[in-house]
Chains A and B, each alone.
Chain A
Amino acid sequence: MTEIVIQTRDLDKEFRRDGFSITALHRINLEVRRGEFLALMGPSGSGKSTLLHLIAAMDRPTRGEIRVLGQDLRALSDREVARWRNRHIGFVFQTFNLIPVLTAIENVELPLKLTHLSKKERLAHAETALRLVGLADRMHHLPRQLSGGQEQRVAIARAIVTDPDLILADEPTGNLDAASAQEVLTLLAKLNQEFGKTIILVTHDPHAARFAGKTRYLEKGELLPEGQVPD
């Protein structure tokens, strides 16, 4: 049995807005093992992003338990959470979210600035990460000088540069053409297979989901049982 890296029990998330309460997630029980590549699918508004945010400790659940990498996330203070996220989580957004004034390598270096590494070590790590995503020749380009696919690969380099255990990608191919999407998905598969990274990929695209080893579905905030496909 491989180690369970994500475990939730009856996880609820409600958003309160203008006196209304919206249930985004309801009684989620999810287990993810180390080295898994899980695709998370579901219609818009089904709570995919919300679940990813809870796993990354970017938001706090309303009820229920959540353990990630053996850590009870509810027990961490805001400061500890930031540090924990920096060490253990690599997050990839649909819209890349690179800092526009920084070059590719500077963007990748950002999370390392919170570590004790020297400038030299930071740049060496950032360079390695960029090499891994195939952008060794674009290190000193600004985001606007890169194509969408290249930007997303820089974002992936930024997500893996701290060597996190978990990579969470929220529709990483949503803004890409087919060819770039293919590159990004291949890259994620490589990170999973060659580097043993645990990956959760949120996607709308059944083709993308085929890169994952397993697909789970969310519907109206509820996680369908394993193996069950919505009609």
Chain B
Amino acid sequence: MFRHIPLILKNSWRNRRRTTLTVLSISVSLCLLGLLMALYHAFYLREAPPWQARRLITRNRVSLAVPMPIYYRDRIRQVPGVQEVMISQWFGGVYKDSRDPNNFFARFAVEPEKLFVIRGEIRVPEDQKRAFLAERTACAVGRRLAERLGFRLGDRITLKGDIFPVDLELTVRAIWDAPDNDEVLYFHWKYLEESLPPARQGLVGTFSILAERPEDVTRIAETVDAMFRNATVQTRTETEQAFALSFVAFLGNVKAFILSIAAAVTFTILLVSANTMAMSVRERIREVGVLRTLGYTPQSILGIILGESVLISLAGGLLGCGLAAVLCAVVRNGPIAFQQIRSLSVDAGVLATALAVALAIGVLSSAIPAWGASRTPIIQALRHTG
């Protein structure tokens, strides 16, 4: 088979324009497919990084928008295996002009002294940490966010409340680093609580739990939810990773969406390249007859034609994966709505799958014409014109 590679190469480059167009159309489709798979991977298949694997989120069973009583924190703290529990309150609000999506970022009211325990992966200079802990209106912002919006230590940030009927005046006292999820602003929950009218006090949107060991998270989630099963306010506890995914689910059935687009793309490109291969095989039936006269068997003819088709689609596949990798890098470093996107990449798994799809397209698209050509009686093949 390897001896036929020069012929395969030359055959594939015979009609340059057609081959180029085929490679390009396969590469565009496989780029799209690669992106979709990378997206799927980032959302559904990525393993939680070690620092995230121990974290859980508890929220109201009814809805994220309905809060829970604050004393739940101390009951959760009692569950065996729980190392720490922190109030974590989403503060919507508006920063500057809300019409600019750049001004949108996550703001959380937390218990500052626990923050660096729960998110142990956060790195922050000791003096900044102290300054953040000491001041009631201090806030700590992630590096990426600080860079995006130009925040510096000492800057004042005003957040206009929307869900909460208060405006907050914050001062940047710490800029921290973390391997992911670093477009967040944290401030003191006490400050928020004291600014609220009494009727709105004593309630919390979510609790952030740190388990002692990653193996415990499932059991802890079950225990916590069981504890409040008969209470007026029931809870729903899940891993931080699953919790983050539930936001993606707001968009609808993303999983089915991604998979169905991927299937449609694959099917379309299969038809396109099947058509192209059928054309180039038809043009060469006569040469097939010549090769058969020289003693080539139908099997080797089949191999030569399939080889050409596979070569073209693998070239398209590689190019497409390259394109997808570039696009992933662009998306990853742009402003994003979901943290999972930060891990968007064409990794070995995605690459292998995309190339396997390309291989399958190569084989399937030419299987029928190749089979037909290789079985055409020699005499008939030699009489073929066109």
Contact = CB atoms under 8 A, between A and B. Distances in A.
Given A53-B379, A58-B379, A78-B298, A91 B14 contact: no
A59 B296 contact: no
A179 interface: no
Contacts of A56: 293
Nearest to A103: B10
A100 to B, nearest CB: 8
A97 B379 contact: no
Nearest to A91: B293
A99 B295 contact: no
A79 B297 contact: yes
B270 to A, nearest CB: 26
B291 A110 contact: yes
B293 A106 contact: no
Contacts of B382: 93, 97
Contacts of A82: 292, 295-297
Interface string A59-97: 100000000000000000011001101110001010001
Interface in A87-141: 87, 91, 93, 97, 99-102, 106, 110-111, 113-114, 119
B296 to A, nearest CB: 7
Given A58-B379, A59-B379, A106-B6, A97 B295 contact: no
A97 B377 contact: no
A111 B298 contact: no
Given A78-B298, A91-B293, A101 B14 contact: yes
Contacts of B6: 106
Contacts of A53: 378-379
A158 interface: yes
Interface in A32-63: 53, 56, 58-59
B287 interface: yes
Interface residues of B, number: 24
Given A59-B377, A97-B286, A113-B3, A158 B10 contact: no
Nearest to B298: A78
A86 B295 contact: yes
Contacts of B378: 53, 58-59
B14 A111 contact: no
A148 B97 CA distance: 78
Interface string B183-221: 000000000000000000000000000000000000000
Contact of A99 (B13, B287, B300, B379): B287
Contacts of B7: 99, 101-102, 106, 110
Contacts of A113: 3-4
A83 to B, nearest CB: 6
B295 A87 contact: yes
A85 B293 contact: yes
Most buried by A among B291, B294, B297, B382: B294
A99 B283 CA distance: 12
Contacts of B286: 97
A102 B295 contact: no
B290 interface: yes
A48 B267 CA distance: 49
A128 B193 CA distance: 96
A24 to B, nearest CB: 11
A102 B10 contact: yes
B11 interface: yes
Interface in B1-32: 3-4, 6-7, 10-11, 13-14
A175 B206 CA distance: 88
B322 to A, nearest CB: 28
B19 to A, nearest CB: 12
Nearest to B294: A111
Contacts of A59: 377-379
A17 to B, nearest CB: 11
Contacts of B298: 78
Contacts of A85: 293-295
Nearest to B292: A82
Contacts of B290: 93, 97, 99
Interface of A: 53, 56, 58-59, 78-79, 82-83, 85-87, 91, 93, 97, 99-102, 106, 110-111, 113-114, 119, 158
19 contacts: A53-B378, A56-B293, A58-B292, A58-B379, A59-B377, A78-B298, A83-B297, A85-B295, A86-B294, A86-B295, A91-B294, A93-B290, A101-B14, A110-B291, A111-B295, A113-B3, A113-B4, A114-B295, A119-B3
